[in-house]
Amino acid sequence: MNLLEIENLKTYFFTEAGVVKAVDDVTLSVERGCTVGLVGESGSGKSVTAQSVLRIVPRPGKIIGGKILFNGEDLLLKKEEEMRKYRGKKISLIFQDPTSSLNPLFTIGSQLADIVIEHEKVKKEEALDRVIKALRIVKLPDPEHAIYQYPHQFSGGMKQRICIARALLLNPELLFADEPTTNLDVTIQAQIIALLKDLQRELGMTLVMITHDMGIVAEMCKYVVVLYAGNVMESGSIEEIFERPHPYTEALLKAVPRLDETRKLISIPGNIPNLIDPPSGCRFHPRCQYAIDLCKEKKPPLEDVGNSHFISCHRWRELQGGRS
Amino acid sequence: MGLAKYIIRRAIYMVPLIIGISLVSFLVMYAAGDPIQLATAGNPSITEAQRQFLREYYGLNDPIPVQYLRWLDHFVHGDFGKSLYGGRPVNEIISSLVWETAKLQLISILLAFFISIPAGVYSAVKQRSAADYTVSSVAIFGISVPVFWFGIVLILVFSYHLGWLPSAGAHGAPYLWPVFGIKNEFLDELAHLVLPVTVLTFANLAYNVRLLRAGMLEVLRQDYILAARASGIPERKVLYKYALKNAITPLLTLLGLSIGAMLAGAPVTETVFSWPGLGRAYVTASLRLDFPLIMGITMIITIMILIANLITDLVYAWVDPRVTID
């Protein structure tokens, strides 16, 4: 049994301008102990998917359909108080911006210890010991002193280490890392990626890496799920996806600069669509170089094309034939 | 930077401020007119010589710098002089009124502060719900409605028609107001407080709720709130511990300002309820150009505001570790 199975998840935002279908019919699964990449442009529904699993989608967002099976149990059927016990304890989330995701008015020790106290009903001293241990795991220097400091006293990289420690505090089974390196310097990015890789291996944790960086995906992930405009375009092993990509993934890969090649970067024409009134049929068709009339009319189903590779494209098979 | 050193430095900075404010008030007051002329205007039998004598008696004929220095000399010795009306020492007048005003204002300000916390938080959490619109409407009503009108309506309803509560004064002695048939001084004092406190709380509450609601709406969008929820912190704690502490700073500023200005804060309410307070005395003194009393009350208010500002700054630094005092 997979640790996490998301089936036909729909999370919509009921804004004054209209209903934004941020996550629309997303199906994916995450195998226990694996690192899975959740890839897509900004606004493709990656973060909302993670927030939906924890059921912390901010207003006016609402999960309106689907199933989220965690260890076989549907999280969407849990009562709020039951669900609270999953958050931080069984499923954790690391945010994109460490500066804004730490409360500026509380010491590191007090905001992290609170999490231990709320879940395990321990005394403050014991909770602080656990916090120090977690800070040591993420290699934060001098954790005994750090717990008495405030977030603004740390650098961005150190803050992200603290955020990782917060997510790991209660040894969760599943960790979502939502673009954890986007707001960091390049050198710090490499350190944080290395840290996450080590932690995943040492703790045997299941990691869902949310990113738009194909380089990070290639380095860390065994499986990849590609989202576009709230829909799953494809999912499969890293080899399958790099070898036989969906037209969208193909375009995405061509837009990644490489050091070993001198070629022009090809950007994807157009913009990510307005999700209040998304394109008909395949949501990628207005920007797809292979699009035909069928793509506009009918939404392609997510099909198993072998080797656990799932593709949502009318023309993929035909294009593969032509390519090989 | 030591706390004591900081407070001492701020206190030293207050000295030129106090002198400056007193100087400006003094000059403005003298520009306003002649108190002797005003006081004797209704008396046809008074002669110019008698007026001149009165001016001489109160030292009003001396050059203004001399008068100011004389006032300053008395002020630094803690003496505000005597009222032009009745000759009571200003210190005595102020000390007899200050407690009544402080009592009325402190209760109202604190009540408004503590009521606004759940109201503001609730209204932000339930943004655009019927409850939010209700809270906001009541708040806007509180901001817009004139204090004297609201006070008179309350007096009409609860004193005149229902006869439940006294309409004037701070004390009923010797005729104590019966509360559920019981007569004692404490209950009498309480009964007299209800209506003016209601009016003032309502007026203060409105600003507090609007400020806190706006602050909470801003804070609730922050990642650290989502992160607290994602860590399994119960919603009540997320709101009242993690969000509130970030949203409450504007409210603390307002609280500091209100407490600083409280002695001058409610002349209208005090007048409507015939409250024996400093606000009403201040207005009366200004209309009569009772120079020593005006200066006395002005200086008390100035000092209160300066001290309240200092305390507000200290509280700020205590709430927000990013604020340093130096």
ipTM: 0.90
For chain A, say whether B321 makes contact (Cβ under 8 Å): yes
For chain B, say whether A156 makes contact (Cβ under 8 Å): no
Q: What is the 3-state secondary structure (H, E, C) of B207-223?
A: HHHHHHHHHHHHHHCCH
Q: Each residue of A165-192: b (16+ CB within 10 Å) or e? A: bbbbbbebbbbbbbbbbebbeeebbebb
Contacting residues of A for B319, CB less than 8 Å apart = 105
Which amino acid would we find at residue A17? A
Nearest CA in chain A to B320: A105
Helix (H), strand (E) at residue A197: helix A186-203
Establish, for the pair of chains A and B, how many residue pairs have beta carbons separated by less than 8 Å: 80
Task: Report CB contact under 8 Å: A95, B227.
Answer: yes
Q: Return the residue in A56, A121, A148 with the most chain B beta carbons within 10 A, the one to mutate for interface testing.
A: A56
Task: Give the side-chain half-sphere CA count within 13 A for B4.
Answer: 0
For chain B, say whether A86 makes contact (Cβ under 8 Å): yes
Q: Taking 60 as the threshold, does the pLDDT of residue A323 lie above it?
A: no
Output the average pLDDT for chain A: 90
- Res A252: pLDDT: 86
Question: Which domains, from first to last, does chain A contain?
Answer: 4-90+172-323 (3.40.50.300)
Task: Report CB contact under 8 Å: B233, A102.
Answer: no
For chain B, say whether A87 makes contact (Cβ under 8 Å): yes
- Res A76: pLDDT: 94
Q: Per-residue pLDDT tens for A25-43?
A: 999 999 999 999 999 888 8
Residue B82: closest CA among B57, B112, B46: B57
Nearest CA in chain B to A120: B232
For chain A, say whether B318 makes contact (Cβ under 8 Å): no
Q: Return the residue in A80, A103, A150, A154 with the most chain B beta carbons within 10 A, the one to mutate for interface testing.
A: A103
For the CA atoms of B33, B37, B39, B42, what is the dihedral angle to 10 degrees?
-130
Residues of chain B with pLDDT under 50: none
Contacting residues of B for A119, CB less than 8 Å apart = 232
- For residues A6-15, give the mean pLDDT: 94
- Encoding tokens for residue B266? 């409610």
Which amino acid would we find at residue B166? P
- Res B38: pLDDT: 82
Contacting residues of B for A89, CB less than 8 Å apart = 232
For chain A, say whether B319 makes contact (Cβ under 8 Å): yes
For the CA atoms of B245, B249, B253, B256, what is the dihedral angle to 10 degrees?
20
- Res B218: pLDDT: 94
Strand A223-228 and strand A35-39: the pairing is parallel
Q: Taking 80 as the threshold, does the pLDDT of residue A262 lie above it?
A: no
- Minimal C-alpha gap between A278 and chain B (Å): 26
Q: Per-residue pLDDT tens for B265-310?
A: 678 888 888 888 888 889 889 888 888 899 999 999 999 999 999 9
Q: Per-residue pLDDT tens for A199-225?
A: 888 888 899 999 988 888 888 899 999
Task: Report CB contact under 8 Å: B246, A104.
Answer: yes
Residues A202/A282, Cβ–Cβ less than 8 Å: no
Separation of alpha carbons A103 and A107, rounded Å: 8
Scan residues 122-181 of B and list those with Cβ closer than 8 Å to A.
127
For chain B, say whether A78 makes contact (Cβ under 8 Å): no
Q: What is the 3-state secondary structure (H, E, C) of B9-31?
A: HHHHHHHHHHHHHHHHHHHHHHH
Contacting residues of B for A84, CB less than 8 Å apart = 232, 234
Q: Return the residue in B220, B224, B323 with the most chain A beta carbons within 10 A, the one to mutate for interface testing.
A: B224
Question: Which domains, from first to last, does chain B contain?
Answer: 98-274 (1.10.3720.10)
Task: Report CB contact under 8 Å: A150, B127.
Answer: no
- Res A322: pLDDT: 62
- Res A29: pLDDT: 92
For chain A, say whether B231 makes contact (Cβ under 8 Å): yes
For chain A, say whether B48 makes contact (Cβ under 8 Å): no
Nearest CA in chain A to B323: A105
Q: Taking 70 as the threshold, does the pLDDT of residue A294 lie above it?
A: yes
- Minimal C-alpha gap between A185 and chain B (Å): 20
Q: Specify whether the backbone of B276 is left (phi greater than 0), alpha (psi in -120 to 50) or beta.
A: beta
Task: Report CB contact under 8 Å: A56, B321.
Answer: no
Q: Per-residue pLDDT tens for A234-245?
A: 999 999 999 899
Q: From the list A56, A102, A103, which residue is nearest B230 (CB)?
A: A56
For chain A, say whether B227 makes contact (Cβ under 8 Å): yes
Contacting residues of B for A150, CB less than 8 Å apart = 321-322
